[in-house]
Copies of this chain bind each other. A is one copy, B any other.
Amino acid sequence: MTAPAASAIDPATGRALKLWVVLSRATASIEKRAREDVARHDLTLAEFGVLEALYHKGPMLAGEVQRRTLVSSGGITYLVDRLTARGLVERRPCPDDRRANYVALTPEGTTFIHSIFPEHAAVIAEVMSALAPEEQETTARLLRKLGLSLRQAPETSG
């Protein structure tokens, strides 16, 4: 009688809920660790994400960075403003489309992310080392499947 409604949950739903809880917790734990790591350099995870995206993909349109880093359109402006103020990135007008503009690392920004990325990657690697390589790949494959299904079918029921 201590679990009033849980008993009314069918197995499939219970399984889904359990997965959701575990997924949330694991992500929160890792995020916390990652956040602490980048905080040493006075960065938020979102800021780090922008730098990393530019580092690995080169200059991108603001909208691309936005989609890649999963922040709102207002958020990307804020982030780029902050990083610009620190001299790590810069805006460049897009010649083809004057509505848009590129965001690119400055030389300082490149040096900076180049120096801190490996440490951060090492932290993530250590965190994930709780799983064997094969397990990591299995998890990634399943989560990718899950994530893709959500982007393809935003609203199904009705």
Q: A residues engaging B (CB < 8 A)?
A: 2-6, 8-9, 12-13, 15-20, 22-31, 33-34, 55-58, 70, 110, 114, 117-118, 121-131, 133, 135-140, 142-151, 156-157
Contact = CB atoms under 8 A, between A and B. Distances in A.
Contacts of A156: 126
Nearest to A120: B17
A102 to B, nearest CB: 15
Contact of A5 (B23, B31, B114, B140): B114
Given A22-B147, A146-B26, A2 B58 contact: yes
Contacts of A18: 140
A30 B20 contact: yes
Give the interface SS of chain A, mostly helix, strand, loop or mixed: helix
A128 to B, nearest CB: 4
B15 A137 contact: yes
A89 B114 CA distance: 50
A29 B147 contact: yes
Contacts of A131: 19, 142, 145-146
B145 A142 contact: no
Contacts of A125: 12-13, 16-17
